[in-house]
Amino acid sequence: MKKAALTFTAVLILVLDAIADNGEYAVSGIPPALLKNADAVLRVEELRFEILSTKEAIQNYHYVITILNDNADKWAEFSEYYDKLREVSSVQGYLYDAAGNQLKKMKMKDLEDISGVEDISLMDDSRVKRHNFYCKNYPYTVEYNVEIRYRHTLFFPAWRPQGGERISVEKSRVTIVCPEDYQFRYKTFHYTGEPVITTENKKRSSAWAVTNMPAITREIYQPPLRDVTTGIIFGPTGFQLGDYKGNMQSWQDFGKFIYALKQGRDALPPNIKSVVHELSDSIRDEKKKIRVLYEYMQKNTRYISIQLGIGGWQPFDANSVATKSYGDCKALSNYMYSILKEAGIRSSYTMVIAGRNANGITEDFPSQQFNHVILFVPMKEDTMWLECTSQTIPAGYLGGFTANRYALAVDETGGTLVRTPKYGLKENLQLKKINAVLGEDAALHVKVQSTYDAMQQDELHMLINGLSREKLKEYLHDQLDFATYDISSFNYEQNKSSLPAIDESLDITVSNYATITGKRIFVVPNILTRLHSKLPADTERKYDIEQGFEYRDIDTVEIEIPKGYGPEAMPQDIATAGKFGKYTCSVRLKDNRLIYYRSFEQYEGRFPAKDYNDMVKFYETVYKADRNKVVLIKNESQLKEN
């Protein structure tokens, strides 16, 4: 791979040397070191953010990027959203050829103005201004100038010159301008210098800059981008959103602002109050009471995104949700908060960054880093978490969407950072019990009983509750790794406890599962749970290894073999363990049955780059062991009888 990359770079340099340096952005002006491993080069980036007051700011953004090949076309498209709180006030765009000659200039009629509304949104004032020159003559360069006006100062833009892999940076600069007496905050990542600060006309400018950053080549299991390249996040002290003012010097202060947005919006209509008391007054167990009320909320509301102006941050009041039976995450969480309050149960409206692969927030930098709201219910001896946007998730369970991360719990005293539950090895369990019959025609008739616990059941839970039975069967066909097979029957049973589980029953017939050669049958005893791929070796690993999602899989398999066959070769027992996981497997022949056992554990953590090849060896051992074959041979007496 390195040889091919160097060859490409050398050829590209020769091509660029042949291009006349006619313009400021001629590709021949790019330093050769920035072409290595690059699909695009950020030639110039200038981000200027000026805080005019606590309720108004303006952003000027100028960037020039050279696209070297079609892998980088995504970087050539201009796209900015706007709404009632954020106005894209001007856009200019230019296209240049490899020599830096201007080919086109964007006209205002060329700028698309499209809806930014998602399918799940009922009301949303977000729109997107978008433009693309759709050039295919590589290399080419695009330049854009954009001005954005903010009608709030709730959050500031971040600066990250390298927005992804295989993009190098020639020069990039960010400047924050504010009144002399205003203090903003910032946190740097992989930036060693101090800002250049100047003062003029009672305004203070703070600037950071980088030059000649080589492209990043993505490595498998690498940490998030913010942990491997230069970036700065910024945040306000005093800020304003509409008529609401706040301060963000601490999480407690920020929480006070969020509480003010929802304060007084928890009044329920009389009919809902009556229902709350009918359902819960006779229940003494607090957990059961919460579960009953949560299930009532689930059955009588549905999630619809509503993002209008300040409504993108402020929840609809509880009375509106009760009347209309729908709301977004803010509105539904506030509604559930109101229901529990009526029942005498205290809870906290809680902000979190959601997503199965979300990187979490920077916990030592108070700022708006959240995209979702859930409910936190502290109790005397325990806590409960409620995902109020789901009509199917059981009370007390969050799943991989919001588990194991910091969140901001908000009450009348302000905000407090809390951790959402972590589901680890004990919780994320998959158990499979498989009974199979192998025919002399190599077909395998399989009955499977599986149980998926906690995060192991998350995806299946969504599929069961979101797909028809026909679509679910299609999904199963995609998941099973057999050449030719038929699913005779399948069934799912859900256990909706605070640690949910799904029981799966499958009846499958696999044609030509085994390989028959003369008097021998070759069969893999691991029928369903094989590691899908091996990791590539890498002797020049740069970045730490980050492995998430701890889990444990246990398989017990019994395969009835054809009469008259005995073992000729049996795989040895395998046992290996290390910092990345633990694996054991064994196979025995007992009473004409192959008895196979497999246990696999994957551990969570961040590990140094030097350990990567140990990780490769561990997973290679698992990959090979999962495919070990038993060789069966027909005994001589059986051959004579035939």
Write the DSSP symbol of residue 215. Answer: P
Are residue 379 and residue 453 in the same domain, yes or no? no
pLDDT of residue 430: 98
pLDDT of residue 637: 60
Q: How far is CA 343 from the centre of its chain?
A: 36
Q: DSSP secondary structure string, 28-48?
A: GGS-GGGTTT-SEEEEEEEEE
Among the candidates 419, 449, 480, a domain finishes at 419
Question: Which pLDDT band holds residue 311 (cuts at 50, 70, 90)?
Answer: low
Pair (333, 464) in one structural domain: no
For residue 275, give the H/E element and its range: helix 270-280
328, pLDDT greater than 70:
yes
Indicate if 134 and 218 belong to the same structural domain: yes
Residue 248 tokens read as: 């963000």
> How many other C-beta atoms lie within 10 A of the C-beta of residue 299?
9
What is the model's pLDDT at position 1? Answer: 37
Question: In this structure, are 517 and 569 located in the same domain?
Answer: yes
Would residue 485 count as lying in a domain?
A: yes
Distance CA 264, CA 286 (A): 25
Domain span at residue 268 reads 254-419
CA 201, 203, 204, 207 dihedral sign is: negative
**What band does 116 get if pLDDT is binned at 50, 70 and 90?**
low
Residue 143 lies in a domain: yes
pLDDT reading at 557 higher than 70: yes
Q: Which three-class secondary structure state does DSSP give residue 320?
A: helix
Q: List the CATH number of the domain containing 519.
A: 2.60.120.1130
339 with 332: CB under 8 angstroms? no
Residue where one domain finishes, among candidates 395, 419, 443: 419
- What is the SS3 string spanning 94-114? EEECCCCCEEEECCHHHCEEE
Does residue 456 lie within any of the structural domains? yes
Q: Residue 410 pLDDT more than 50?
A: yes
pLDDT surpasses 50 at 480: yes
Cα(523)–Cα(516) distance, integer angstroms: 9
| Maximum average pLDDT range among 4-13, 305-314, 502-511 | 502-511
Residue 172 has pLDDT above 90, yes or no: yes
Q: 396 with 488, same domain?
A: no
- In sequence order, the β-bridge partners of residue 582 are 577, 601
466 and 607 fall within a common domain? yes
CATH of the domain at 393: 3.10.620.30
Confidence at 5, pLDDT banded by 50, 70, 90:
very low
Measure the CA–CA gap between 327 and 391, rounded to whole angstroms.
Answer: 12
pLDDT at 15 over 70: no
- Mean pLDDT on 522-550: 94
For the cut 60, the answer to whether the pLDDT of residue 19 exceeds it is no
Residue 143 has pLDDT above 90, yes or no: yes
- Residue corresponding to tokens 């309720």: 55
Query: Is 247 inside any structural domain?
Result: no
Query: Residue 74 falls within a domain, yes or no?
Result: yes
- pLDDT for the residue 358: 76
Buried b (16+ CB within 10 A) or exposed e, 167-182: bbbbbbbbbbbbeeeb
pLDDT value at position 378?
A: 95
**Could you tell me the pLDDT band of residue 305, with boundaries at 50, 70 and 90?**
confident
Residues 504, 492 contacting (CB under 8 angstroms)? yes
- 3-class secondary-structure state, position 633: strand
Number of structural domains, the chain? 3
Query: What CATH code is carried by the domain that includes residue 75?
Result: 2.60.40.3140
- In this prediction, residues 2-8 reach a mean pLDDT of 38
Asked whether the beta carbons of 326 and 315 are under 8 A apart, the reply is no
Residue 104 CA to chain centroid, in angstroms?
A: 38
Q: Is residue 547 predicted with pLDDT exceeding 50? A: yes
Residue 477: what are its φ and ψ, rounded to 5°? -60, -35
Predicted local confidence at residue 308, as pLDDT = 53
Per-residue pLDDT reduced to its tens digit, 342-359 = 999 999 999 999 988 777
Q: Are both 364 and 385 inside the same structural domain?
A: yes
Cβ–Cβ under 8 Å, residues 239 and 156: no
- pLDDT for 125 equals 61
Question: Is the same domain home to 362 and 468?
Answer: no
Query: Same domain for 460 and 607?
Result: yes
Domain closes at, from 419, 454, 482? 419
Segment 594-614, tens digit of pLDDT: 999 999 999 999 999 999 999
- Tell me the pairing of strands 551-560 and 593-602: antiparallel
Q: What is the dihedral of CA 139, 144, 150, 153, to 10 degrees?
A: 50
Q: pTM score, two decimals?
A: 0.90
CA distance 203 to 52: 10
pLDDT (average), residues 39-55: 97
In this prediction, residue 477 carries a pLDDT of: 87
Cβ atoms within 10 Å, residue 104: 13
Q: What is the Cα–Cα distance from 524 to 627, expressed in whole angstroms?
A: 6
Predicted confidence at residue 380, as pLDDT, reads: 86
Confirm whether 424 is domain-assigned.
Answer: no
How is the beta sheet containing 551-560 ordered, strand by strand?
A: 485-495, 501-510, 444-453, 429-438, 551-560, 593-602, 581-590, 574-577
Question: How far, in Å, CA of 327 to CA of 332, rounded?
Answer: 5
Model confidence at 390, pLDDT cuts 50, 70, 90, reads: very high
Answer yes or no: do 548 and 605 share one domain: yes
User: Does residue 567 form part of some domain?
Assistant: yes
Do residues 187 and 306 both lie within one domain? no
Give per-residue pLDDT as tens, 204-252: 999 999 999 999 999 999 999 889 999 999 999 999 999 999 999 999 9
Mean pLDDT, the chain, integer: 92
Specify whether 383 is located in the same domain as 506: no
Neighbours of 105 (CB within 10 A): 11
In a domain, 186, yes or no: yes
